[in-house]
Structures are given as structure tokens and as C-alpha cells.
Amino acid sequence: MKWRKNLLEQVNSMEKVRPFSHALDRLRDAGLRPTRQRLALAKLLFDECDRHITAEQLHSEALAGNIRVSLATVYNTLHQFTTAGLLREIVVDAGRSYFDTNTTCHHHFFDESTGVLSDVPDGQLEVSGIPTPPEGAQVESVDVVVRIRAAS
């Protein structure tokens, strides 16, 4: 197992040397020009584990990290990333969207009292009886948001 530990150390040190490489690769693979702002926001979004984030939350993180960017630019960038397939938009109600870095098909819990969006564990929710879409349309995906609140 020693070789494995060494390999892990090598990978870790590579990431330290090239902190933007992961975000940069994601942008390039999606065919997006890696502008400075896109790169900075991509790093906040993709360099940790999967997350659900609103435009406002990402904007706050950017400001906290000394990334000078307007909320409008954050919105535009999130929508560009979504169109490019890097993010999935989860609309929980009118005027509130979360952006999910996990773009695979999965469902969500939305806590109405805390505003927290979280993943329904794999295999716990099954959708059956998908309706026939109107003529000329096809089903693109089915997203279920299970609304929860603290039990009283």
C-alpha cells in the first residue's frame, strides 16, 4: 500500500502547485472561455465536494474571497455554467433557485423552515408513471423536490 500513499501525496502536491487546474479543466471541457471571473467562480464552485448554492450565497463567498464581482455577473455566470452542463438548476419556488454541482439525476429535500436544499439518498425515491408529453415534446428529466419542515 506504500505506492498508493506515495501516489496520493503526488496528486495532492500537484493540486497545490496548480490550484486553478481543476476549475480550468472544467471550463475548457465545457467550451467556456476561462475569463478571470469565470475561473474564480468555478474554483469556488467545483474545488470542494458537491454543493447546492444560490447566486446570493456564491456572491457572498466571492466577496469574502476578495473576488470583485457583481451579483448580476454571478447570476449570468451561473446560467452560462448551467447551459454548458456544469451545473443543474433546481428551482424551489418563484424567485429562488439553487445551483447543484452534481449534475447527475437525483432528487432533493427542501427544508421550508431553514431554506436548506439537500440530496435524497440514492434509491430512496422512485418515480413511476411518467406522463406522455405533449406532441412534439420529449421528457428531458424528472426532478422531485420533497418539501420538509421541522417535525412539531
Name the binding residues for Fe cation.
126
Instruction: Return the residue of 119, 120, 145, 148 that touches Zn ion, per CB under 5 A.
Output: 119
Burial (Cβ within 10 Å: 0-12, 13-18, ≥19) of residue 110: buried
Nearer to Zn ion, 67 or 81 (CB): 81
Verify binding: residue 98, Zn ion, rule CB under 5 A: no
Q: Of the two residues 75 and 109, which places its CB atom closer to Zn ion in the complex?
A: 109
Tell me the Ramachandran region of residue 13: left when phi exceeds 0, alpha when psi lies from -120 to 50, beta otherwise. Answer: alpha
Q: Cβ of residue 50: shortest distance to Zn ion, in angstroms?
A: 7
Site for Zn ion contains 100 (CB under 5 A): yes
N- to C-terminal Cα distance for the chain?
Answer: 50
87 lies in the site for Zn ion, by CB under 5 A: no
Per rule CB under 5 A, count of chain residues that contact Zn ion: 3
> Which residues belong to the annotated binding site?
126
Q: Collapsing DSSP states into helix, strand and coil, what is residue 64?
A: helix
| CB neighbours of residue 17 within 10 Å | 7
Residues that bind Zn ion (CB under 5 A): 100, 102, 119
